[in-house]
C-alpha cells in the first residue's frame, strides 16, 4: 500500500494464474513512476465502451482495435463477470470501475489480471491481458475477470493481510458464478476438493499473517473463508453465512478504494451475522499454523470424491444443508444506505 505524492491511494491486487504463479507482489512500487515507466492506468487506449452493472458504470478500454477476439465477445465476458459479482454482493461493489483489456498478439487465453484501488479518478481499475487468439470457449470458462472484480469488494490491506484479499477472491469467485447460473455446484466443489489442500501449512509455517507463500496466500486464505462460512452457518442455524458478512462490509464502505485495518472489516462482518466467528477464527489462524481437517469437512458437507476426480453429493450428511446454502442465490436487496 502506498500513497503517492498526489494523494492517490494505490493498491494492487494481482493474480498471475493459480497454475503458474509462485509469488505475488501486493504493492505497486513508487519507482514505476520514478524510473519513467508509465503506470498501467495511463497506458494508451485505442477505443472504449461503457456498460452498466446495477448502478455502476464500467468503462472498458482496449489497447488495440481491429484485432481478434471481437469486442462484443469481450464485452459479454465482462458483463457476465459483473453479473456474478452483483448477484453475490447484492449490488456491484463500487459505483465506477475502469477495465483495461490489453490484447496480446500470438497468445490464447486470459493471461492474468491486476486490480488497483483509487487511481485515475476511478474507485477501481483493472488491467487484464487477453490473447488475440482467445476463443468464445476460453472466455466462457474464464474465472480471472470475476476474481478481479471480487477484489473491488474489500478494503485495501497491509502486506501481512494479503492472504485475506486473495483468499477471499479465490473462495467467493466460483460461488458467485454458481449463484449467477454460470457454473454448477458439482464443478466448484470438485475443484475445491482438488485445490484446497494447497493451503495447508508446511514445515516452518507461522500463521497466515506471517507466512506469505503462494499456497498459504491464495488457498490458505480460501480455507479461512470456507471455515468462516461453515462456522457462521452453524452458529446461526444456517440463516446467515460469510456472504452476509461480506455484503455488510461493502455496505459500510469497505471497498478497494478505502484502507481499513483487517480487524475493523472482520468486526463489521461479525456484527452483521450476530457472531464472533470471523474475529475468533482470525485470532486462531493469524500467528499459528492451523491444519484444517478437509477430509472430515467434506464428509460432513456430504461431498464424496470418486475416481476421476468429480464429486457427488450425499444429502443425508450432517451439514448437507450448509453445502446447499453456500451456493444458493440469496436475495438481491440493496442496503438502504448505499
Q: Which three cell numbers stand for residue 141?
A: 470458462
**Distance between CA 237 and CA 241 in Å, rounded?**
10
- What does the pLDDT profile of the chain (338 residues) look like in tens digits? 222 223 333 344 444 443 222 222 222 333 333 344 788 999 999 999 999 998 999 999 999 887 778 899 999 999 999 999 999 999 999 999 999 999 999 999 998 899 999 998 999 999 999 999 999 999 999 999 999 999 999 999 999 999 999 999 999 999 999 999 999 999 999 999 999 999 999 999 999 999 999 999 999 999 999 999 999 999 999 999 999 999 999 999 999 999 999 999 999 999 999 999 999 999 999 999 999 999 999 999 999 988 778 999 999 999 999 999 999 988 654 443 33
**Distance between CA 215 and CA 163 in Å, rounded?**
10
* Residues in the chain, overall count: 338
The alpha carbon of 40 is separated from its chain's Cα centroid by a whole number of angstroms, namely 21
Q: 7 vs 4, 68, 260, CA distance in Å? A: 6, 38, 17
**Cross-strand pairs, 56:** 53
Give residue 239's pLDDT: 97
Question: Hey, is 145 helix, strand or coil?
Answer: helix
DSSP secondary structure letter of residue 39: P
**Distance between CA 322 and CA 315 in Å, rounded?**
10
Q: Find out whether 270 and 278 touch, Cβ atoms under 8 Å.
A: yes
Q: Find out whether 80 and 106 touch, Cβ atoms under 8 Å.
A: no
Q: 157 vs 10, 148, 240, 242, 255, CA distance in Å? A: 11, 15, 25, 19, 11
pTM of the model: 0.88
**Cross-strand pairs, 57:** 52, 96
Q: Which three cell numbers stand for residue 312?
A: 457427488
Q: Find out whether 231 and 241 touch, Cβ atoms under 8 Å.
A: no
- Give me the residue label for grid cell 485445490: 195
Q: Where are the domains of the chain?
A: 12-151, 184-327
Q: Find out whether 175 and 88 touch, Cβ atoms under 8 Å.
A: yes
Amino acid at each position: 500500500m502506498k500513497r503517492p505524492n498526489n494523494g492517490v491511494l494505490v493498491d494492487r491486487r494481482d493474480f498471475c494464474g493459480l497454475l503458474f504463479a509462485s509469488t505475488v507482489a501486493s504493492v505497486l512500487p513508487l519507482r514505476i513512476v520514478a524510473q519513467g515507466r508509465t503506470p498501467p492506468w495511463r497506458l494508451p487506449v485505442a477505443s472504449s465502451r461503457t456498460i452498466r452493472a446495477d448502478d455502476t458504470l464500467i468503462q472498458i478500454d482496449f489497447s488495440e482495435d481491429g484485432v481478434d477476439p471481437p469486442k462484443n465477445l469481450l464485452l459479454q465476458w465482462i458483463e457476465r463477470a459483473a453479473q456474478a459479482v452483483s448477484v453475490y454482493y447484492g449490488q456491484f461493489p463500487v459505483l465506477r470501475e475502469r477495465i483495461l483489456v490489453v490484447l496480446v498478439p500470438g497468445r490464447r487465453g486470459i493471461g492474468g489480471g491486476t486490480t488497483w484501488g483509487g487511481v485515475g479518478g476511478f474507485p477501481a481499475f483493472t488491467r487484464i491481458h487477453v490473447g488475440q487468439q482467445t476463443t468464445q470457449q476460453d472466455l466462457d470458462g474464464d474465472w480471472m475477470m470475476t476474481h478481479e472484480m471480487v477484489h473491488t469488494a474489500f478494503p485495501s490491506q497491509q502486506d501481512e493481510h494479503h492472504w485475506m484479499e486473495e483468499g477471499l477472491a479465490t473462495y467467493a469467485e466460483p460461488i458467485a458464478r454458481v449463484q449467477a447460473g454460470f457454473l454448477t455446484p458439482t464443478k466448484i466443489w470438485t475443484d475445491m476438493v482438488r485445490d484446497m489442500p494447497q493451503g495447508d501449512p508446511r514445515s516452518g509455517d507461522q500463521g497466515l499473517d506471517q507466512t506469505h507463500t503462494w499456497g498459504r496466500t491464495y488457498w490458505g486464505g480460501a480455507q479461512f473463508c470456507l471455515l468462516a462460512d461453515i462456522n457462521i452457518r452453524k452458529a446461526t442455524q444456517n440463516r446467515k453465512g460469510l456472504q452476509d458478512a461480506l455484503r455488510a462490509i461493502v455496505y459500510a464502505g469497505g471497498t478497494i478504494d478505502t484502507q481499513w485495518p483487517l480487524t475493523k472489516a472482520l468486526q463489521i462482518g461479525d456484527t452483521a451475522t450476530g457472531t464472533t466467528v470471523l474475529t475468533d477464527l482470525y485470532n486462531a489462524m493469524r500467528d499459528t499454523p492451523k491444519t484444517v481437517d478437509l477430509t472430515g469437512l467434506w464428509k460432513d458437507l456430504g461431498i464424496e470424491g470418486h475416481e476421476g476426480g468429480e464429486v457427488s453429493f450425499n444429502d443425508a450428511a450432517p451439514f448437507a444443508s450448509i453445502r446447499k446454502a453456500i451456493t444458493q442465490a440469496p436475495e438481491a436487496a440493496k442496503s438502504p444506505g448505499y
